[in-house]
Chains A and B, each alone.
Chain A
Amino acid sequence: MSESRIGLRGVLVAKGRNTVLDIERLDVRAGEVLAVVGPNGAGKSTLIGVLGLLEKPTRGEVSFEGEPVSGPYLAYRRRMAVVFQEPLLLEATVEANVTTGLVLRGVPREERRERARRWMERFGIGRLAGRSARTLSGGEAQRTSLARALVLEPEVLLLDEPFAALDEPTRQGLMDDLARVLGESGAATVLVTHDRNEALRLGDRLAVLMDGRIRQEGTPQGIFAAPADEEVAAFVGTETIAPGRVEEVADGLASVKVGERMIEAGGDVAAGDGVLVCVRPEDVTIGPAGDGGPTSARNRLPATVARITPAGPWVRVELDAGFPLVALITKQSLDELSLAPGSAVVARLKATAVHLIRR
């Protein structure tokens, strides 16, 4: 991949006896946003540290434009910018903070002011230019931190959980602004986050990092629709993961026995394979018991409601369909169906919504 702007080659980071990061190869192209998702402790911050040349890997190397990084790091670091979870501002005005990197690079004063003004406007903090950084709210401080990084017009932008410390409305607003900025930026961007919605929102490409290793890499849709293994599936929000066995395959459609039930699913499997049946809760619909109405769903499973819990604007319904099955429905549906624990229903799901992982 000659167009790789920044990448890793055979990188291993060990702390004591623990392997924190172990990545054979990673590449990010110019203009691309790679979202790295993973649970806490997956090695995400170490990944940013190594890419940002702030942390030396135990072995392996960072590549910049296809060439291994060598010699003084400073010259490379000046082509990058990093934003951390904490805003980490200096005790100075917002404008002085935003221009810090430009001062370090010896950019003339007039140009500094002009660029700072432009980027403060873009992040909606123009009116705060003269304010002391210590008087800012969390959201304003993180906007300042982002402006401070992007004013450098970096070739590589590294974002380490930049929204994690913000409350929900602030996070949404800032994510909108950042999405717009990233869309226009030519930087190779790596965003690490434990929040899969952030990753979906901002990432062009997704990598799932677990225990220091990249478990799966691809388009967000690809990974969410077809997680590579059970842990990735659980992390990307597949709530139903049930073991089963493929009974037969005909016309590309597999019949899988899960408990005492048969489920039809698409997938590259053979009869006799042991599989994990993965279903995302939003792909399960619920109808009244005995519902024989027209539907394109190939799977209709009689089930009883085990538990109902509110989930934001949705309602999470745990079903017992011979195996635990989770559905996400609207409050309206809940009322229409007058569901309660113990209600008998029919769960419907399309064969294409069932993802099989071979065990």
Chain B
Amino acid sequence: MDLIWDGIKEAVRLIFTGDAYVYEVALTSLYVSGTATLIAVVIGFGIASLLVFRAPPGRTLALSAFNAGMALPPVAVGLLVAIMLWRTGPLGALGLLFSPTAIIIAQAVIATPVVTALSVVALQSVNPRLRTQILALGASRWQAGLLLFREARLSLLAAVMAGFGAAISEVGATIMVGGNIRGSTRTLTSATVLEVQHGDFETAIAFSLILLAIIFAVVGTLTVLQQRRSVS
């Protein structure tokens, strides 16, 4: 029990004294996972609206793929991205392996199916006749899409939260394609793994606490946004 208690005390000290190493790692995590989530949202919302509003052939197959993608093993994604970015791999010339960009790519691949599948559910939960009504009120296709996204905003925010959660809590692929390089690709999760391996539980607990705090802050903010019965 002492271990945990001392760990927490040390963690609080590290956090509140503005320890450079801890903050650098936290900022890397935020940057990498934030960017990956943004990419996942852009792609996921796009694909979801295509699947729901255009109902293309093969929709069910695509949906099954995205649903399965929610359970994509991060290690497999990491492996795939690592092979693609490997020096002799198809995208090796870009020199991205062991860079923050590589982690962003891997996390975006992991978060995109989550955002897509949940956004499809969100958009499908809107009464399909509402789209007809909106078009009948004189909306262009774009206007109709925007209004329907606005209508599904609560569930769409849940999709964003789930995507962010998947990205920031990911560790296997992050280490594999990022290399856990201090000052560059070390994130809160990969740093925690490292510190535990070194037996430095205080620092590991500090990282975990910050990770939890970030998740709580981001998801909390989105939840407040979601639950504010904003009507304009």
Chain A residues within 8 Å of B, Cβ to Cβ: 49, 52, 54, 74, 77-78, 80-82, 84, 86, 88, 90-93, 96, 100-101, 104-105, 132, 148-149, 152, 158
Contacts and interface: CB of A to CB of B under 8 A. Distances in A.
24 contacts: A49-B132, A54-B135, A54-B136, A74-B140, A77-B136, A77-B138, A78-B138, A80-B136, A82-B136, A86-B127, A88-B129, A88-B133, A90-B130, A90-B150, A90-B151, A91-B151, A93-B232, A96-B231, A96-B232, A100-B147, A105-B138, A132-B231, A149-B137, A152-B138
Contact of A104 (B127, B138, B231): B138
Interface string B202-232: 0000000000000000000000000001011
Nearest 7 Cβ contacts at the A-B interface: A82-B136, A88-B133, A78-B138, A101-B137, A92-B231, A93-B231, A104-B138
Contacts of A77: 135-136, 138
Contacts of B139: 104
B232 A82 contact: no
A247 to B, nearest CB: 55
B143 interface: yes
Main secondary structure of the interface of B (DSSP, over half): helix
B133 A101 contact: no
Interface of B: 127, 129-130, 132-140, 143, 147, 150-151, 229, 231-232
A100 B229 contact: no
B147 A90 contact: yes
Contact of A132 (B127, B132, B229): B229
Nearest to B133: A88
A86 B147 CA distance: 18
B231 A86 contact: no
A52 B135 CA distance: 10
B156 to A, nearest CB: 13
Nearest to A52: B136
Contacts of A91: 151, 231
Contacts of B151: 90-91
Contacts of B136: 52, 54, 77, 80-82, 158
